Amino acid sequence: MVTDESAEFLAEDIVYALAAEAAAEPKPGLVTASQTASHTDMDVFTLLRSACSLRDTFRDAALLCTNLDVGQAINSCSSLFAELRSIGRHGEQVMFRVTGGVNTHKGGIFLGVLLAAAARIVVDREPFLNPSQVCLVARQLAFPALLSDMIFSDDDSDSVDHLSGGLRAWRMFGVQGIRGEVISGFSSVLNNGIPALELSLNRGVRIGAALTHTLISLMAVVQDSTVLNRVNDPKRLALVQDRANDILANGSIFTKRGKRLIRRANGEFTRLRISPGGAADLTAVSLYLHLWSSHGRAACKKNYSSLCEGVDGQSFWI
pTM of the model: 0.84
pLDDT, tens digit, 9 for 90 and up, residues 212-230? 999 999 999 998 888 876 6
Residue 23 has pLDDT above 50, yes or no: yes
pLDDT tens column, 77-121 = 667 778 888 898 899 999 999 999 988 887 767 788 888 888 877
Residue 154's pLDDT band (boundaries 50, 70, 90)? Answer: low
- SS3 sequence of the chain: CCCHHHHHHHHHHHHHHHHHHHHCCCCCCCCCCCCCCCCCCCCHHHHHHHHHHCHHHHHHHHHHCCCCCCCCCHHHHHHHHHHHHHHHHHHHHHHHHHHCCCCCCCHHHHHHHHHHHHHHHCECCECCCCHHHHHHHHHHHHHHHHHHHHHCCCCCCCCCCCCCHHHHHHHHHCCCHHHHHHHCCCHHHHHHHHHHHHHHHHCCCCHHHHHHHHHHHHHCCCCCHHHHCCCCCHHHHHHHHHHHHHHHHCCHHHCHHHHHHHHHHHHHHHHHCCCCHHHHHHHHHHHHHHHCCCCCHHHHHCCHHHHHECCCCCECCC
**Residue 56 reports pLDDT greater than 50:** yes
The string of pLDDT tens digits covering residues 276-286 is 999 999 999 99
**1 pLDDT tier (thresholds 50, 70, 90):** low
213 closest CA partner among 226, 201, 224: 201
pLDDT greater than 80 at residue 66:
no
What is the Cα–Cα distance from 129 to 292, expressed in whole angstroms? 5
Residues above pLDDT 90, as percent of the chain = 43
Query: Quick check: 48 pLDDT over 70?
Result: yes
- Among 22-26, 144-148, 150-154, 207-211, whose mean pLDDT is lowest? 150-154
Residue range 237-249: average pLDDT? Answer: 96
